[in-house]
Amino acid sequence: MQVQLAGEPQKPGRTSEDYAAASPEALVLLDGSSTPDDLESGCRHGTAWYVRRLGAHLLARLTDRADRSIAECLADAIVETAALHGGRCDLGHPGTPAATVVAARLHGSALEYLVLGDSMLVLQYRDESVRPIGDNQRFAAGDELRRQVWATVPGSAERAELHRRYTLAVRAARNTGRGPWIAAATPRAAPHAETGFARLDELRAVAALTDGAARWTDRFGLGSWSDALHLLAEAGPAALIGQVRAAERTDPHCERWPRGKAHDDAAALYALI
């Protein structure tokens, strides 16, 4: 694979909670689950620390364990990352650091892929058709609370309180079987990821985007997924993120395009097969 990637934090000087990495035969993209500053997580390291270590361990497993399925590689990486926390972190805390995951690797004559959460993987075939995969852990109760958040004024006390309620509701339900599955401190979420294979002789390229970058299509409607793949091929991931930032700046109060944050961490990866 020939890989390009780019990432940008939601604000200059702030550490991004997205992570992207690749080798010639594998790629990973993670989006950390952010936590309001006034809520405890039980972890002294933080979300950015977690996503970087989980991403590095997952990339290693994808490249050195061809005998393990891609979901098993994710489970292994979660266990290995949990061991790095040490005894001072409460991994049973409902707010323990967590992340959505996109991963893919060359596996014989196919591309094996995995998507867990609301980040996106987009397959582009040689006939120019595309197949988006992702946003596969919908949580109806959380979606309704999120819409309530989006209906309030950014920066207001009402919005902050509704966001807190949303975060607590998702925390209480995730990885329990009653809500979304996400990569956290135990491997039980890994089997719930969407996985599959795509034949290499039918593929042209693959893209992976965190939800902050996927806004280009699914929130701002700047083009179709086919258009997004064309932009990535012609100008690269940084150009797509640049267009997302430009759109965000035209709507600082989230009125034209309701959303949780005016700006979000964004990462995108594009690989020619």
| CATH number where 49 lies | 3.60.40.10
CA distance 50 to 161: 26
* Domain presence at residue 185: yes
Min mean pLDDT across 68-82, 146-160, 187-201 is at 146-160
Total structural domains within the chain: 1
Angle (CA) 140 247 52, round 5°: 65
Q: What is the mean pLDDT of the chain?
A: 94
Q: What is the pLDDT of residues 70-129, one digit of tens each?
A: 999 999 999 999 999 988 898 889 889 999 999 999 999 999 999 999 999 999 999 999
| pLDDT for the residue numbered 264 | 96
Q: Is residue 11 part of a domain?
A: yes
What residue ranges in 118-264 does DSSP mark as E strands?
120-125, 130-134, 194-199, 203-209
Partners of residue 196 on adjacent β-strands: 113
Taking the C-alpha atoms of residue 79 and residue 259, their distance in angstroms, rounded to an integer, is: 33
Six token digits for residue 95 = 């707010």
Q: Does some domain include residue 14?
A: yes
Residue 39 has pLDDT above 90, yes or no: no
Closest of 104, 114, 127 to residue 204, by C-alpha? 127
Closest alpha carbon to 94 in 190, 38, 214, 174: 174
Q: Does 144 reside within a domain? A: no
Answer whether residue 35 shows pLDDT above 80.
no
Q: Mind spelling out the 3-state secondary structure of 129-163?
A: CEEEEECCCCCHHHHHHHHHHHCCCCCCHHHHHHH
Domain that holds residue 216: 2-137+179-272
Tens digits of residue pLDDT in 2-18: 999 999 999 998 999 99
Residue range 49-76, pLDDT digits in tens: 999 999 999 999 999 999 999 999 999 9
